[in-house]
């Protein structure tokens, strides 16, 4: 299984789609004025462990395991991925600017695999987003945050104020779509991470819940 996981990740990351991604644009929204200067993703802000069942679909191949996310301090999280049998696959610490690899299974010790995981979790665990523009539609308040050549669109449900979706774009091309289901601001019951330029989908489902 581990050999399969390594090969699947490598093949999926080196294979680029023939058709380029289209430029991302919001549809059926209107610009609005807001007093919000910064919006936040608080789903991984608790000091308690976040434990999820992890399912990865990589070019029609399926891999599952257990994912644990632990907030170490205000800037850094620790991420540990194990197999369903409890064998550690990878263990790293990550922030907006730093990355420390504590352990990686030899079969997964490939630069392209490490970079793939580092980028995905750096985007997922990013907390603060300075607001550049704001929009709304019938159900959502939408905030655009621009940082150099990257942009983030954050969708908050108007009724419960919970973060529902983050769309990450680079050079105006949609890269990753993060979808959340939650009942609390600090804990996502489930997460769907969908790459747009690779056929990679990661799904997380809660095992333990923070208070």
What letter would DSSP give residue 135?
E
How many domains does the structure of the chain reveal?
Answer: 1
Question: Tell me, what's the pLDDT at 17?
Answer: 41
Question: Model's pTM, two decimal places?
Answer: 0.86
pLDDT (0 to 100) of residue 34: 86
Per-residue pLDDT at 67: 95
Residue with tokens 């994912």: 67
Residues of the chain with pLDDT under 50: 13-20, 210-211
**Exposure string for 95-106, b = 16+ CB within 10 A, e = fewer:** beeebeeeebbe
DSSP 202: E
At residue 19, the pLDDT reads: 42
At residue 205, the pLDDT reads: 96
Q: What is the CATH number of the domain that holds 177?
A: 2.50.20
| Structural domain span for residue 48 | 2-208
Which regions of 107-162 does DSSP assign to beta strands (E)? Answer: 128-130, 133-136, 140-147, 150-157
Question: Computed from CA positions of residues 204, 157, 148, 16, in that sequence, does the dihedral angle turn out positive or negative?
Answer: positive
CB count within 10 Å of CB 32 equals 11
Which DSSP string corresponds to 15-68?
---SSPPPBP---S-EE-----SEEE--TT-SSS-EEEEEEEEETTEEEEEEEE
């Amino acid at each position: 299984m581990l050999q399969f996981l390594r090969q699947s990740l490598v093949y999926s990351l080196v294979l680029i789609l023939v058709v380029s991604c289209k430029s991302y644009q919001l549809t059926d929204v209107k610009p609005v004025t807001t007093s919000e200067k910064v919006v936040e993703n608080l789903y991984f802000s608790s000091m308690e462990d976040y434990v999820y069942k992890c399912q990865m679909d990589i070019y029609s191949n399926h891999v599952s395991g257990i994912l644990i996310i632990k907030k170490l301090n205000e800037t850094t999280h620790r991420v540990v991925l194990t197999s369903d049998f409890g064998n550690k696959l990878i263990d790293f610490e990550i922030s907006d600017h730093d990355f420390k690899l504590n352990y990686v299974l030899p079969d997964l010790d490939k630069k392209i695999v490490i970079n793939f995981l580092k980028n995905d979790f750096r985007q997922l665990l990013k907390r603060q987003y300075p607001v550049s523009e704001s929009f709304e539609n019938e159900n959502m308040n939408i905030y655009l945050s621009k940082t150099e050549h990257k942009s983030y669109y954050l969708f908050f449900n108007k009724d419960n104020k919970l973060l529902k979706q983050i769309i990450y774009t680079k050079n105006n091309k949609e890269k990753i779509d993060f979808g959340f289901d939650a009942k609390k601001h600090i804990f996502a019951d489930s997460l769907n991470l969908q790459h747009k330029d690779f056929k990679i989908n990661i799904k997380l489902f809660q095992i333990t819940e923070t208070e």
